[in-house]
Amino acid sequence: MSNYLDSLNWRYATKKFDPSKSLSDEDLDYIKEAMRLSASSYGLQPYEVLIIQDPEIRAKLKPASWNQTQITDAAYVVVIANQSTFGDELVDDYIDNLVETRGVSKEDVQGYADFMKNTLGGFPEEIKAQWTAKQSYIVLANLLSAAAERRVDACPMEGFDPAQYNEILGLGERNLNAAVVATIGYRSDEDATQHYPKVRKSNDILFKTI
């Protein structure tokens, strides 16, 4: 079995963290880089990642998270916030980055820029929000995998009130919405969940070759 599959078998949704343990800068940087390298549609990355350590902010977020202890006990709370809406500036910012990174002219990529603007500009506002939120979950997947490779525990969380998160973190005024949350740190010895066998569908049930 590959090291990657070993890591996926090792990880679980940690329910109780050890608040006395913190991540090294090296491990945190590794997880951040994995999130930065996440795939996104057209490479546009229509989201922002907040990494929250401040205990006062986390104390405010806990009641908005169904009082789950992971929020205050983990080393960090990671909030992946999608852009609530967007216009041509989303594409323009990407094109500026592309031109600088690849050393091409804007004229070289103008056709691609126009294609993206025409495609995405036709989305209704509701669909724009759904589309950017879906991109956020790809980031979450990379976070979980990268953390597992470093033997850092993580818990993906949808059990929170996005509106309260947006208010506490000032996201709404920045055109952002809390899409999904993850806590990262190290499991407590008292977390019985770590000893449960992993429950997944069998290959015969999950996969169908057509």
Average pLDDT over residues 170-187: 98
Starting at the earlier edge strand, list the strands of the sheet with 153-157.
47-52, 76-83, 176-185, 153-157
CA distance 91 to 200: 39
Sign of CA dihedral 141, 146, 150, 154: negative
What pLDDT does residue 88 have?
98
Residue 200 has what pLDDT? Answer: 98
pLDDT reported for residue 67: 98
Q: What is the pLDDT of residues 97-118, one digit of tens each?
A: 999 999 999 999 999 999 999 9
Q: What per-residue confidence (pLDDT) applies to 29? A: 98
Domains and CATH numbers, the chain: 3-85+128-206 (3.40.109.10)
122-168: pLDDT as tens digits: 999 999 999 999 999 999 999 999 999 999 999 999 999 999 999 99
Q: Please give the model's pTM, rounded to 2 decimal places.
A: 0.96
The confidence score (pLDDT) of residue 162 equals 98
Question: How confident is residue 2, by pLDDT bands cut at 50, 70 and 90?
Answer: confident
Instruction: Residue 123: count other Cβ atoms within 10 Å of its Cβ.
Output: 15
| pLDDT tens, residue by residue, 53-98 | 999 999 999 999 999 999 999 999 999 999 999 999 999 999 999 9
